[in-house]
Structure 1
Amino acid sequence: MLAMNILALDLGTSSVRGLVLDGAAKPLPQALARRKVAVAVDDDGAATIDAPAYLAALVECLDELSAAGRLDGIALVAASSQWHSVLPVDAAGAPLGPLVTWLDTRPAPLPGVDGPADADAFHQRTGAWWHRFYWSVKLPWLRAMSGSAPARFLGLPEFVLGELLGDAPMSVSQASGTGLLDIGALAWDGEACALAGVHPGELPALAPSDWQGRLRPEYAKRWPGLREAVWAPPTGDGAASNVGSGCEDPTRAAVTVGTSAAVRLVQAAPAGTPLPPLPHALWRYRVDHDRIVTGTAYSAGGNLYEWARRELRLPEGTALEEALAAVEPGQEVRVDPRLGGDRPPGLAPAGSGVLGGIGFATSAVDIFAGLMDGVCRMVARDLAAIESTVDSTVEVVLGGGAVAASPWWRRAFEMALAPRAVTHVTNPEVGATGAALVALHAFPQIVRMGEGGSSGSARSGGPQRLL
């Protein structure tokens, strides 16, 4: 294997991180820089980020890594980025307001505006719905709310990389998260763009499969270790997490539980090939030009875990696990865990959670377990729908900080997903690892990975079968 390193950027909602990996996409020790991100929220459902402040935080991360000598020998830069964000900008690329994140629930169809002519055909083409989550609804709402006339609309990675690289087209992975992309043809969908009220010139150009970015001269001077590095198109964070978890084909689905939760399956689907029918309740996005990812996501995950533990005044860590040991998953407490409302296609608002089956003998630990088990049941239901797209039962890999922190929750998932084989990946950087592996897939000429650099060995803390 060639002696080279990879810089992976994780452009998240709550933090921005830069970390260095070796040529097999394995994180190197003490080569991580992280800055927290402030998300401005209010009672109206706003959830926005100051885009220039976000860029400044990323620059600080790269300054820190450079000062420590960690950027020396970087040949490839990969990025995992949040999906669905949108930023209105003027003709010079300057923001006309804050970045609207996927957490923002304010966007709504304008009065008198109808949706797609054929909702199912629209869903099959774009993998999305006419829903507040996507640009088809967000962009008209943004225009009406701001009262300005944006020249263009960008996602988070296009804004950030546009500053660092100059030329920063939108990857097909990021474009698929807008809900405006025909995911089979890999082109902007005419009907979706009409619903959004935009023409292609107001959207980022789409990056071809062989696109490579280079730092602007002023940044190459600032970070000399990145002077010769090739920058790969960014990967949507959900797709990157699947690849980083080892779920790169239709035999293994990833269940990731971080702040929120999701279940996803990757399949090969080169541009122009027929795509399998998409069940109504599932979305479908792009990993890259060669692969699609099908799945669903939930507003309840680690946020539900922390809320319930805090409000029920339960202990933390080992003490909580000891209390849960006496509770069998699948108990009598019945729960709808949608405290944060629905992700698309659902429209349930925040505050839709329900508890049932509670009596005087029900303890706080019983309620907590019921909430966690409710998430498991939702995942099991939707995994069955995902399996219908491949006509086979799949293995499941659990990942994410929330399930890593709770052996009981992992056991509850295993029981809910039975008889499927369930494993657990311990690598905390599956998103960054996955983005690096996607980049290596796109640019095999940059690094010829040796036998020790196969995707299975690249993940520190690989999947472990649960007992």
Structure 2
Amino acid sequence: MNILALDLGTSSVRGLVLDADADPLPGALARRKVRVHVTDDGAGTLDSAGYLACLVECLDELAEGGHLRDVELVAVSAQWHSVLPLDAAGAPLGPVLTWLDTRPEPPAGSAGPTDPAAFHRRTGTWWHRCYWSVRLPWLRAHAPAARFAGLVEYALGELLDSAPMSVSMASGTGLLDLGTADWDAEACELAGVRRGELPELAPTDWRGRLRPEHARRWPQLAHARWAAPVGDGAASNVGSGCVDARRVAVTVGTSAAVRLVQRLPVGAELPPLPERLWRYRVDHEHVVTGAAYSSGGNLFAWANRELRLPQGAQLEAALARVPPDGLVLANPRLGGDRPPGLAPAGAGELVGLSFSTSAVDILAGLMSGLCRMVADDLTVLESVVDAPVDVVLGGGAVTASGWWRAAFAAALAPRSVRHRPEPEIGATGAAFVALGRVAEARRFAGPGRTEEVGSPAPPSRSGVPARRVAPGGR
């Protein structure tokens, strides 16, 4: 049996084929880049039709290459928090709001949850612009929507006989009671939405199949079972092997996050949740707790576009001359804050510039600024399990930069920091969730799958002292 794993991310759509042990098959990868439309007013949107076309192109490419033979299961990792308004027939009424969009604001005169602490513990979220409790009223003020869906529910709804929302994706809306795995009455009231205007929730054993017209297009998938999608952050933790209280995943893709997975079946009492952390569901048996950031690999993309950085080996050589904590202090919130923070897009700052400051120094400052933010939240996350943890780094951005891995090791010391270089950790993790084998993913964090990350001593750089005044605030 082979597994088709789809990764519906913010910057790309990817499809790859894995064997029965969730190891990627050589050459069986298709990828299409997508572009988020970002504007100065805080918009961060995707075109749903264009996104669906990219997914179809990936499936076509894999089929034409003969890679879809023997696929019996389709697993999906998808971006959390996205939402688009639909008309009564299910057609989009506007673009997809991604997690990057900071424009939604609470309706005037609304006071929010009656008991914010209880709301946070129940839903794992806050009354915040990132979640549907704030996004849906804001969207309704701009379009007369009949109902709402996430990007993955829309895309799969165009391909499958049904596309209910998984508990993992529903938890990212901020409208789900994590304990009951059902829509939370107060959250829905804040969102001004009725149950029939939300996607149907997928039961534990849900499996979908292609519609007949699509089964004819991809006959190799005609009998394949489609598993309920998994939020990308949860899937990345599983793909990193961080599936118990001893290991935390730090993932840096387009954005970044630090997360811990625990076994907590639906119906079990929810444990305490620190005020500054969120909690979502991996599936009906596990939760993931952590913090996320709007900055990640997009910091490098911005710097590479605007600062005329050296390329390839020249860039790594230049970074090697910068200490792991950087020479420029930077607030890396160029895209604003993820919840619970409220900093708007454009909140980034640089401190300590001089006439000798180089483009590489600015890049390093942004990268090390993110490391410090992760380190602060990791300390809070450790309080959830009341024990120190090991860290596994993953994601394309840290895989591409040895300097960034070393900077994380320095910021997270004295914890053990390892790196999982496999680039498709999200898709791999989604496959393990689909197989019901989350606990077995521990093997990905062991020797042979991860590499020890060293923390080098800061090189000397005479005449250019590092500044120690932190910009901004959280």
TM-score (ref. length: structure 1): 0.93
Q: 1:360 Cα shift?
A: 5.1
Q: 1:57 Cα shift?
A: 2.1
Q: 1:99 to 1:332 in 2, by over 3 A?
A: closer
- Cross-structure match for 1:386: 381
**Match of residue 241, structure 2, among 241, 246, 255:** 246
Bigger CA drift: 407-416 or 335-344? 335-344
CA contact (8 A) 1:26 1:458 kept: no
- Cross-structure match for 1:270: 265
Q: Does 1:229 align with 2:224?
A: yes
**Match of residue 23, structure 1, among 20, 23, 36:** 20
CA contact (8 A) 2:248 2:390 kept: yes
Cα distance in 1 between the residues matched to 2:370 and 2:438: 38
Equivalent residues in 2 for 1:53-452, closer than 5 Å: 53-146=50-143, 148=144, 150-330=145-325, 333-359=328-354, 362-441=357-436
- Cross-structure match for 1:449: none
Q: 1:361 Cα shift?
A: 5.3
Instruction: Provide the aligned C-alpha RMSD in A.
Output: 2.1
CA contact (8 A) 2:126 2:339 kept: yes
Q: 1:71 to 1:363 in 2, by over 3 A?
A: closer
Report Cα offsets for 1:213-246 as digits up to 9, x if no partner.
1111222222111122111000001100110111
CA contact (8 A) 2:5 2:16 kept: yes
- Cross-structure match for 1:456: 443
SS in 2 for 1:388: helix
Q: 1:454 to 1:246 in 2, by over 3 A?
A: closer
Cα distance in 2 between the residues matched to 1:43 and 1:377: 26
Q: 1:277 Cα shift?
A: 1.0
| AA of the residue aligned to 2:37 | A
CA contact (8 A) 1:26 1:459 kept: no
CA contact (8 A) 1:257 1:402 kept: yes
Q: Which runs of 5+ in 1 are unaligned?
A: 445-452
CA contact (8 A) 2:240 2:445 kept: no
| AA of the residue aligned to 2:129 | R
CA contact (8 A) 2:241 2:445 kept: no
| AA of the residue aligned to 1:137 | V
| AA of the residue aligned to 1:387 | E
CA contact (8 A) 2:392 2:445 kept: no
| AA of the residue aligned to 1:96 | L
Bigger CA drift: 373-382 or 295-304? 295-304
Q: Which runs of 5+ in 2 are unaligned?
A: 455-474
Q: 1:227 to 1:460 in 2, by over 3 A?
A: farther
Q: 1:458 to 1:432 in 2, by over 3 A?
A: farther
CA contact (8 A) 1:338 1:352 kept: yes
**Match of residue 47, structure 1, among 44, 47, 63:** 44
Bigger CA drift: 22-31 or 332-341? 332-341
SS in 2 for 1:308: helix
| AA of the residue aligned to 1:21 | L
- Cross-structure match for 2:468: none
TM-score (ref. length: structure 2): 0.91
| AA of the residue aligned to 2:414 | P
- Cross-structure match for 2:6: 9
Cα distance in 2 between the residues matched to 1:15 and 1:381: 30
Cα distance in 2 between the residues matched to 1:205 and 1:192: 16
SS in 1 for 2:62: helix
Report Cα offsets for 1:408-462 as digits up to 9, x if no partner.
1111110110111000011010111111111011799xxxxxxxx8752699972
Cα distance in 1 between the residues matched to 2:104 and 2:379: 31
| AA of the residue aligned to 1:219 | H
**Match of residue 35, structure 1, among 19, 22, 32:** 32
Cα distance in 1 between the residues matched to 2:441 and 2:342: 42
Q: 1:331 Cα shift?
A: 5.1
Cα distance in 2 between the residues matched to 1:459 and 1:151: 48
| AA of the residue aligned to 1:220 | A
Cα distance in 2 between the residues matched to 1:211 and 1:243: 20
Q: 1:438 to 1:458 in 2, by over 3 A?
A: farther
The size of the alignment, in residue pairs, is 454
| AA of the residue aligned to 1:308 | A
Q: 1:359 to 1:44 in 2, by over 3 A?
A: closer
- Cross-structure match for 2:466: none
Cα distance in 2 between the residues matched to 1:363 and 1:65: 44
Cα distance in 2 between the residues matched to 1:325 and 1:319: 10
Q: 1:174 to 1:454 in 2, by over 3 A?
A: closer
- Cross-structure match for 2:460: none
Q: 1:334 Cα shift?
A: 2.8
Aligned identity (percent) is 68
CA contact (8 A) 2:76 2:427 kept: yes
